[in-house]
Every structure is written in structure tokens, then in C-alpha cells.
Structure 1
């Protein structure tokens, strides 16, 4: 009775096993296959690596012991040509093809009672190892050659499939890491609309279980008709389309979706990739890129005046509240600086800060700027519509500067935002919820504007919850020196200059000025002087003629006295007088001076002219 085939593993060949683990794992089934066809008493199967180092020996116990003694078939033994001469194993490695050596064909006389059949195991042309059947019989048997060749090819296919599977698994892991790391929902569907993959982000947005969703139809997972299914009907994908949908938890989702069909080599759709992101994250990125953030803090508000200190105290209290804030003050007093500081001191400091000047936008465009517009709302609009400032400010603060100049019709739409924190785009009917803090500012007396029917009382009361009234610079004469030093340092950094301050005579002139344009006017004056200053300090010679007055004097008196002045000084005075004459009405003033509204606004800004004339 034949002895049973037993695989013999050495306890001291860990290095060999580790180096040839892939070959050994894929060869075992073929060892068993070969042993089932041969008599284990007369045959031994040897497996070596590409260096002819024995990695495995299989056969009956007797023949294995015999081959160990006579042929040095021992694990870790090197059966190279230098050691044992030409053998079937060394020839298979050398030629890279199947070899049979029988009887007298053996170079080594002690092997001539054997017949050996060896075949190399290759992968992409590289020899990985050799499998060899040795029979204690010198007669040639072609069947054994075919068996060893078939086994070698089988092992090669096993290794090839294993490596392909490993590569696919590695690629799948990389792909999973990629889609799980993106801040967007990601779903893949097969041609029937069955979910084949969904990432964690997508499952969270849709409020569904990631693992239970795989294998189910997309229509069974969401409470709305999946728009992505239209891709299968039309054969066309879409990019960055805006949708308002409801997730499985009943929560409204404002999404930007992109769907891309997957096609086979014949152009047939085999599936769809659906990518969707929440608008609030898109808005956050946009705001970050365009610099929609507050740049100033309370440390930037310079001055020791008691009235200013009181304003800062109230502003810090207001920062901790969610109520609306109204900042009053003449043009150039620093209303926007206060708004920036309040935002940065609040719990919304990480959110966007969106500022808009209501006086600088034409009345026919201000609604679309504030509330956005839907696709097709008007000719020339961005395809697909555009969100307004309130939507962009979601999660943060919106600063409505010069709110007293907001058209009365726009105020009605603003009321709904103030009451319900809801926005409807121009030309649309979809309601968008906005979580936004409103800070408004004006250089007008809004109560008086309400009496004149230029401003709505209901809006006024809703804006005027917390009020900060900033004192003009002429009431803070003691702060002028400190503000001047701060502004010179700021302008030096911006212009790369090195002016060290002002002379005492200049300080006297500055303290005597009325500063109708307040701090903005002072900053413009200093920037002009620094640009032309040739010394270490700004002296009187670098001031415009309009400011070269003694304490208590007025520039207007000098025009009447016939003193020669610069064109800029005269222009400033004429604009101020015209504004006074027309009660601050920009349209009438611009017509009287024969300039456009935009030009007038630019000159008002340039000369730091107050708008509450």
C-alpha cells in the first residue's frame, strides 16, 4: 500500500517561507493535485525559488527521507548549478522553459537512476521559482512533463489573479478614502437606480443609514422624486444645479448637485455618480475667497474720550446679544469699524461678515443685491440665478451701511427678513431660511426720516433695538493727537514710508478744524501729506491750503475774502454748500453741479464730506 503524501515544513526556515510566501500559498493546491496522480513511494515534488533554494518538498515519508540523503532535497538547500551541476531545476531557471532530464542525460552520475521534470513559474516574464517532479526511475514519461507544465501555468494564473485582486482592493481602499474625505455627498447608482455606494457625508446630509442603503433603490431612501433618475431617461448629466429638497428626517436641504453618467465601451449608461454639497459650505468657501470677514477689533478704535468709551462699552454688550444694532453717527466717524469689532467680539466671529452700502447701489438693483435673484428674473442676470447678501451672510453678520438711503419699496422686503429671517429671491418663490445678525448704520436722523415718510416706522423700531451713537471728531479734540499717531503708523506700513509724526503747529491746526468728514477726512489729509512729505515730520507746508487756518477760522470765510485756494479746496467747499442747499439730496446736488451720482459719491468720499448737511 502506497504511503500518504505529507508536506514537510521545517521549523528553521522562517526566512525562506516569508520570502516565498506568495509562491507557497498558490502552490499547495497543485502539490496535492500532482500527488493524487503519482505513486508517493517513487516520486518527490520539489519547489524552489528563482535562486534554486528549496522552499518546499512533498512526497511520501520514505522517499522524502531518501531524497534528503541522496539528493540534498532539504529546505533552504541551494541547488544551484555551482553546487550540483546541471539539473532539471537549474536548466529551467537558466533557459526559462520546461526541462526534462532522464537517466543517462544527467550530468551527475549519481542522478542517472532518476528522471526529473521541471517547469519555471513566471510572472510578466520574470522567473519566480521552479516546480520539479523527480521519479526514482530513469525512463522518460511524457505525461509527467505535461503535468508539471500544467501545474506551473496554474500557479502562474493563481499568482496573477491574486495580484490583480490585491491591486483592485488597494485601489478600492484609496477610492474609499478619497470619497470619504471630501466634504460632499457622493452616491453611485447602477443602471436600475440601485445604490452601490454612498459616503458618510452623503448619508448624513440625506439622514439615511449608509450600510443599510447599499443595495436599495434610491427612491426608497428619500422622500422626494430623485432628480438623478432623469439622467437615465435623458442620457445627460448636469452640473452645479441648485435644489431645495427635504431629507428623510423632514429637514429642508439647500443643495448644489452634479450628476455624471457612467458609460460602457458601447456608450450605454451603466450607472450614475451623484455628487451633492450643502450651499452653506459653498458659501463659506466663497466668503473666505472674497474676504468676507471683519478685519477690525475694539483695539482698533483709538481714543480716550468718555463718550467714545461709553460707545465701546455698549458695543461690547451688544456683541454678546443676537438683537439688531443701529449705529448712528456722521460720515467718517468709524461706524463700520464698530460693526467689524462687534462681529469679531460675538459668537459669530467665525462666520461671514458681509457689508453693503445701501446708498451706493442703484435703487433698481438693490433688491437683487440684498435678496438675490432666480434664473430668468431679468435680462443679463447670471444663468441659474444668484444668491443675495443675506444668503451669503448666513451664519454670520450683515452690515447695512447708510440704511437711511434704502428705497422705501426695498424696506418692505427687508421687514420680512427682520421678522422671520426668511428670504425670497427676486423672480422666485422659494423661501430660504437665513441665520444672520443685522447691524445697520446711518448718518441721518431716522426718526425724522420716518416723519417725512422716507423711512418706515416698523423697520426703524426693529432696527433700533440696541443703539450706538458715535460722537463726531470735533467733539473729541483730545483724541486727535492719538488718532493722528495711529493713522500715520498705519499709512506708513501701507505706503512703505517713514514719517514720524506732526509738528506742534500742525497739531494746533488739526485741533482747530471742524472735521465735517471726521476720522476719514483726517486720514485722507494725512495720507496726502505723507506722500509729499520730505522730512521726518509733517509740517504746515504739506497741508492743503484749505486747512491752513488759525484756530477758530473757517475755510469758507477765506473764499469770501478772495484768498487764492487750490481747486480741490474750492471743490470741497462747493460740494458742502450744495449739499446744504439741497438738504443732502444726492440727485439734486449732482444735477446742480453737473456731475454723475457716482462721481459725486467719489468726491464726497475723497474729501471726507459728511452726508448729514
Structure 2
């Protein structure tokens, strides 16, 4: 390093080159001289006037969040070492944008600039920017810097590469020029090396995990799949996800999932959960558009370390209005499938309730059969030949809820029919009204409903006349109404009016002994509908069903079997016929039982699939996978794959 500690010589060389325009400069290193030549034309006076590129920095931080997370501990360690020497530690991306900086207070006091980008293109010669250009460690000192504002500093910087050797950024240590030391360059190089190793390890694990699930992700026929990193940031999405959500991959990359997918689901809650979550019903709001869908969130782990998540999205098609599937009659108790004591008890209570006129409240999770029980109660009552009117309280528009329930006179409000309209309570007169999702009813409507229940009279909007009604009222909810009352989300007096005869429906996980009966029932139902001849499910499928918690309950089981009956290629439903989230659950259970790591399990699957695809030809399989035959045999042996089965 020529004249590294003689600032007078460096200052004269800088002045001769940039002010006087001399070309033959012999008092600086060749690397610095070449950088000076590249820097000519850049303003070396007005550093403050450079654009800050706030949006580009924000995008870069999202894109490089893994690099930041990995580098931060090493930056903290460096800063602790140099804390008493007035230095700062900086991390930049490959374009020169500052991702992270830890600055000594004294350095801040004596620095009047804030740099968003310190690439050589922006500020000329400086260790961090020049290190990116030459892709090598470098130290710059005093007047070796191009810009005048930097002449009071010294910086040591080293480039950072990913596992494939690609430049991804640099780390630098900056202090006052009078504190220059060759040791800081060694420290920067050591930190860069440590960051590279950690980054490479992360990449290897991430690539293996994604590769292991590549078939599920890329070749799924209907599932939208989004890969999240361990912090819940989106790293990739398949075409189905783009189509379902109406978004483009590049618009959502590196953003937190809760920033992209708004709506009814609290992703932060599920990401913190220790358990995988399956088939959650949700309404997502994406670009101001509501999308009803089912969501599953599965953790990706390697050696117990959380690597990320797979988010699977199925669009909820809503009610099937195919005329061939419409029922010609209401359900009865004979339609309820189950022999468990808990189901029999619920049926007996419901039968007793059907013989009276008391208000009935059915409590149970989504998919437990609340409407099935409501219809059965009506069918078993003396009102069986009178109307059964069901109302989804959660779907009633707030502004029109009263008119839907109680009706209105002609001209009662703008947009109303001239002849008026009767409400649901009048339609149900003499029969039964089923108020489903009663817990979603707005408080403003709850007061009016309470009055109707108490007086058994309705008054249409715009009318002064009341109409007597005689109805059995059955309400149902999947919400905890006790908690809703305590939180002032549901009227206490309405709750007590409805809670005269309570029927609690158990979740499927509490009566799994009924699963075989339900399987047979639904297979027979859809065999008739789709003209198929499925005879049952394999033992492996049954085990998956028994070990699954069924958050969607019986409805979820029915939906799975409806799909599986149509896609099955044999007389029985196999694991491959199940939705992706259950296939993945089956995979994870197999991993647990076989006591091998997730990475080994996925590698075993890939090898077996390729061996089968290549008709058990080991030589061809090795060539396709880019392995030597010896390596392939070692892997086959390690993963307990039957060698003889695949040998030709």
C-alpha cells in the first residue's frame, strides 16, 4: 500500500488527478487508480443531493432479509469488539444499498451525511462500493476516497457470496482516518467468511426442503401453494396461487404474508402456533377483492429447526347449485350417521326439543352438522308440513338485515320494491325459522330480533301495523357466545332468550369411532352421484383419518371423500387420492414412524420416484440425477431402499 499513512502525499495525488487532470499518478495503488478513473464525472462536492431511493431500499431489505438476519449477529459481535474505537459496521446489498448499519455515537456527531447507496457508481471510490466492483476485499484511507466528504474516514470491506459463488453484498468497517489499522480489513474478511458459510448452510437446507416438496408444489392440480420463510415472508408462489388470488409472483415476493393476504384470518397467530393447521375456512382480501377459501399452513423443519412454511389455498366454490344434487326433502334424524354414545346423546336431546315450542340453540364447530340437526328437529316436530326457512345471519348485509328478516312496505326506502316484501319470519309463519351463524348478527339487529322473540310479532319497515307470528326458532353458531356476551359483542338478554334448549354437537375428533360409518355413507352417496364404484379406503388412509384432528369436522370429511371418489384410479381410495395437505400429513407421520429426518425422507421419495419412472434402471436414474452409480447405491443403502427391487 503506497503511502497509506501519508495523507499529504495522497491529498496531492487526489488533487493532481481530479483537479489538475494529470494522468500519470504514481503515488497510489493501481486498484485505487483504476477506481479513480471509473469515478471521473461523478459530483464529488454535493453528496447530500444524491437520491435516497427509499422505495428501492425497502424493496432490497425485503429481498435480502435472510442476508440481514444472518449477518446481524456477526455485525453485533464486530461492533462489540470495536465499540471503543469510534467505528461503524455496515452491510450493503450487491447494488450498494445500505441494508443495516451499527454506528458509534461519536461517528454520528461528526458526520453530516446519510448515504442510501454507496456503490462506486454513486459516490466513486470507497471501500464498500469498490469491493463490490472488483469482488475482492479492500481498504480505503483518507484521500483515496473519491468524494471529499469521505476524506476524513477509513473503511475496510469484504464481499459476501452465496453458496454458488454469486455476489450478494458486502460488509464494511468504517472509522476516522486517524484510526486506520490493517487489522480491520482482516476482521471484515473474517465476518464475510462466517456470513457466507451460514448463508450457504441455509440455502442448502432450503433447497432440499423445497426440492422435496417440488412435486406437490409444481404439479398439484388445484392447490395454490405459497412458500414462506421462517419469518412468514413469501419466497415463492405457484401458478394456482396466482390464479386463485389474482396476483403476480413478483408483486408479493419477500413481503410478509399478512401484508399481502388480508381478511378474516390472523396469520401471525397461526405462524406462532406449534401445530400445523389444516383446512381453515377464511375470507381473504387481496387488492380489495374478497376471496372465500380453505387454508392449510404446514411447517417445514429440518433437524427440528424451523425453515419455513407451506401455505396451501383452495378456493371455496360456495354452494353447489347443480340440480342433480339438490335435496327433494329436508333431513330427518334417520339421516344422521353415527353410533357413538356422544352422537346418540345429541340425537336424543334434539328429539326431545322437537316435541316442544321452546327456542333452541345449537352449538358446535363449523361442519359438525348444525343445519342437519335443525332440519331433523323440524321434520320430527308437529310443524313438519309447514315452512322451514333458513337464514344465514353472517351473510346478511348490515343495511338490509332488518328488511330481510322482518320485511318492508312498498316505498319504505330507496330501491325498495313498489309492492313491498315479506320478511323471513313471515315466510316461516306456522313452521320453523333457522337462524344460522346467529353470533355474526350485528348488535343493531340483535335488539330488533329480541323484540320479535319476546312479542312474537313483527312489524315491517315503513309500516305501523304488527303481524302475529307462530314459529319455532332454532339458532346456531360456531362462536363461543358466552365469551361474546362478556366482550359485549352479543346481547346478554338475547342470549338468555335463545338459550332455552341447548344442543351441543361434538367435533369429529371427539367421536372418531364414527369415521368408518361416515366413510361408507359418503362413498355410497357419491358413487350414486358420479356413477363410480369405489368400495372403500385403504388401511393407510384410515390411519391418516384417525390421526387427523378434523378442524372442518364432518363437512371436511365429506368434501375429501367427494373429491377422492372422483380421482381414485382403483376400487379403493389411496393416499395419493387425498388432498395435498393430508398427503403431506401422511408423509410427516411416515417420517416420525421411520425415525429419519425430513430431508432424508424427501430424498428417499425423490429416489424412489425416479427409480420407478426409469423402470428400475439404476444406471439411467444415476445419470438423470447427476450422480455416480456408486453414490446412488450408497444413498439407496442409507435410506433402506430395496436395492434388488430396482436392479436390472
Please tell me the TM-score bracket, short chain as reference: 0.3 to 0.5
Q: Which has the larger radius of gyration?
A: 1
TM-score using structure 2 length: 0.40
TM-score using structure 1 length: 0.42
